[in-house]
Structure 1
Amino acid sequence: MADDKKTDEKMEQSSRYESSHSAPSRSASSSALSSNPIFPVLAYCGSSIMMTVMNKYVLSGLDFNLNFFLLLVQSVVCIVAIQSCKTAGIITYRDFSSDEAKKWFPITLLLIGMIFTGSKALQFLSIPVYTIFKNLTIILIAYGEVLWFGGSVTGLTLFSFGLMVVSSIIAAWADIQHALQGGVEANSKVSTLNAGYIWMLVNCLCTAFYVLGMRKRIKLTNFKDFDTMFYNNLLSIPVLIVATLFVEDWSSENLARNFPVASRSNIMIAMILSGLSSVFISYTSAWCVRTTSSTTYSMVGALNKLPIALSGLIFFDAPVTLGSVSAIAVGFVSGIVYTIAKFKQNSKPKTGILPTTNTPVSASSQSMRDSLRS
């Protein structure tokens, strides 16, 4: 009996030893998993692709014209998601303040303009062309920083800008050439592309003004990522409700065109996922910067344009031609050159700056990051 008792005590001690060591082991493995840079990079790329593809799926219908309603659903989903995360203690952000809301409201209007014009451009253009032309926003932001924040533009940065312009020209040329081969529908397709290019130009301007204005306001309010997301989405809801009710057509016939019975549930699911993806992008952006570096994050943003553009070729009927593939390749290279230029510019004193010299205060890579998060 004594021997049996000793054996039981040994087994109990061994069990306690294993449990006390297995818990730290599981905790360590969980910590290693969260700090592994591969996972945040893949999560950031996946959320970016999901948002673009979901928006394109909703907007790809020929008769879809409830763009303000789409933005409203996305804003409501985003507020519900981040408020739920705050209640669960996963994230934190400041409580609502009417004084801060008044100061931030002009930034929200710019955001609505940026997203609305982007949705209209995405409605008329393919994902690869949309992604390529979006690079032109970086040029506007860079020179806006020169004027507003005392930024600077180096020779290598100018070279990357030149590549961005060339890739956009190639993309537009390839798109128009493909449209002209459409026979009797050629004129209609070219008109659609022209409308898309106009919306894309307005979107680039709205995006540049939004990013620059937001950065200027953030300096005054000291907003963090989720503070910005909270106020942007909350303040946009009443504006979007008014816009969709008084501007858009809510007749039963138009609703039937926008939400066909065969694909109604899929469209609503895509709208909800596109709203959730904005939360994922903000979280994975912070996760990526925390586990890697701002330089690595900028490089990921540049490399991420390639899978986004390719997703348009895979999931949608985007034309695969020599011109379109060349435009994607040149745009991809321009993003890499731009990231290298900013890395070199930030790692040494600013000498020999073109075309203007001011006190260096900020970097365009941060503005691009803010634009992508929005």
Structure 2
Amino acid sequence: MCMKKCLVGLTFCTCYLASYLTNKYVLSVLKFTYPTLFQGWQTLVGGLLLHVSWKLGWVEINSRSRSDVLTWLPASVLFVGIIYAGSRALSRLAIPVFLTLHNAAEVIICGHQKCFRKEKTSPPKICSALFLLAAAGCLPFNDSQFDPDGYFWAVIHLLCVGAYKILQKSQKLNKLSDIDQQYLNYLFSVVLLALAAHPTGDLFSVLDFPFLYFYRFHGSCCARTSRSRGGQVRVETPVKTVFILHRKRSRKADVLTYVVITSGLSMLLFDTILTRETMGCLLLGGFGEALLVFSERKGS
């Protein structure tokens, strides 16, 4: 059993690492900045994997009432916002910066629980939210590679992540299983992104992409398909579909380890300029995330 857990963890870490690095390579180095097509491809493959798994009996997708499906649609809209804005942001920001901003979504969730749901929030969790907020808030003023468009889309991304997680925890919406939710997300995303491909100009602009028939581009897209969510909502890709069959949620401690490894390796592979101030913001965000792991483990 221990060997199996280690193997699963190693596989998950490899997929997590490879997905971010290949995504960054396609978006920043090859400059394939056509998110409706890129994310549409990922969600299409994810939906097909889930559908085939359902037909083979590997997963159960329950036939829900129309009212349940319609109730979940706002969350699916937010899901599209997450993957679209996340793709736009990651194409312009360094991976450690993007992950630090992404983690700030926990501030929205904590604030909602404290102010609107009146839930009791532990002091470590409050401190964690403050550290994450401080790290994300200070980054734009200390980032030597500051890109206003990148930060704009990162803010849209983290707002969508926070709102999505709030809806996901809603008593009214949790009738749907994780598989049901993801299946609906994929179906809705494929339809919406396909409809948006022409108005955004991606449909015809992609024909001018210089690496459209480049083997490295095709290989990176295939590797990108092996992405997994890691228990959090990020720039979603299909193998979260496969991985969820074995492990519904990764522990936050595991995900934190993957984030550290991914951030460190990305700085070696991509052009990343880190000043002492920027590094301080990243470390502050990492400390806030570690404190969040501690508070949730203590609470459990």
What's the TM-score, normalizing by structure 2?
A: 0.84
Say if 1:51 and 1:278, in contact at 8 Å, map to a contact too.
no
Say if 2:102 and 2:158, in contact at 8 Å, map to a contact too.
yes
1:83 aligns with 51
d(CA) in 2 for partners of 1:273, 1:60: 19
TM-superposed deviation, 1:54: 2.9
Note closer, same or farther for the CA distance 1:84–1:33 as it changes in structure 2 (3 Å cut).
Answer: farther
TM-superposed deviation, 1:209: 1.1
CA root-mean-square deviation: 2.7
d(CA) in 1 for partners of 2:126, 2:2: 40
TM-superposed deviation, 1:156: 2.0
1:278 aligns with 240
Say if 1:303 and 1:332, in contact at 8 Å, map to a contact too.
no
Say if 2:34 and 2:206, in contact at 8 Å, map to a contact too.
no
d(CA) in 2 for partners of 1:56, 1:284: 27
Match of 2:283, as an amino acid? A
Answer yes or no: is 1:200 the counterpart of 2:168.
Answer: no
1:54 aligns with 22
Query: Which of the pair is proportionally richer in helix?
Result: 1
Q: Deviation per CA, 1:266-311, whole angstroms, max 9, x where unpaired?
A: 34324433433332553454265xxxxxxxx122233332112123
For residues 1-374 of structure 1, what are the structure 2 equivalents within 5 Å? Answer: 33-34=3-4, 36=5, 38-61=6-29, 63-95=31-63, 97-168=65-136, 171-176=139-144, 179=145, 190=146, 193-216=147-170, 219-220=172-173, 222-251=175-204, 254-257=206-209, 259-262=211-214, 263-274=216-227, 275-280=237-242, 282-283=244-245, 285-286=247-248, 288=250, 297-344=251-298, 346=299
Say if 2:37 and 2:202, in contact at 8 Å, map to a contact too.
no
d(CA) in 2 for partners of 1:232, 1:96: 14
d(CA) in 1 for partners of 2:117, 2:73: 22
TM-superposed deviation, 1:116: 1.0
What secondary structure is seen at the aligned counterpart in 2 of 1:60? helix
Match of 2:262, as an amino acid? I
What secondary structure is seen at the aligned counterpart in 1 of 2:219? helix
Q: What runs of 5+ residues in structure 2 fail to find an aligned partner?
A: 228-236
d(CA) in 2 for partners of 1:228, 1:70: 21
Q: Provide the identity percentage.
A: 19
TM-superposed deviation, 1:169: 5.0
d(CA) in 2 for partners of 1:88, 1:33: 27
d(CA) in 1 for partners of 2:173, 2:40: 28
Note closer, same or farther for the CA distance 1:128–1:280 as it changes in structure 2 (3 Å cut).
Answer: farther
d(CA) in 2 for partners of 1:214, 1:257: 37
Note closer, same or farther for the CA distance 1:280–1:168 as it changes in structure 2 (3 Å cut).
Answer: farther
Q: What runs of 5+ residues in structure 1 fail to find an aligned partner?
A: 1-30, 180-189, 289-296, 348-374
TM-superposed deviation, 1:244: 1.0
Which has the larger Rg? 1
What's the TM-score, normalizing by structure 1?
A: 0.69
d(CA) in 2 for partners of 1:32, 1:249: 47
TM-superposed deviation, 1:108: 0.6
Note closer, same or farther for the CA distance 1:333–1:221 as it changes in structure 2 (3 Å cut).
Answer: closer
d(CA) in 2 for partners of 1:277, 1:311: 22
TM-superposed deviation, 1:332: 2.3
Say if 2:23 and 2:220, in contact at 8 Å, map to a contact too.
no
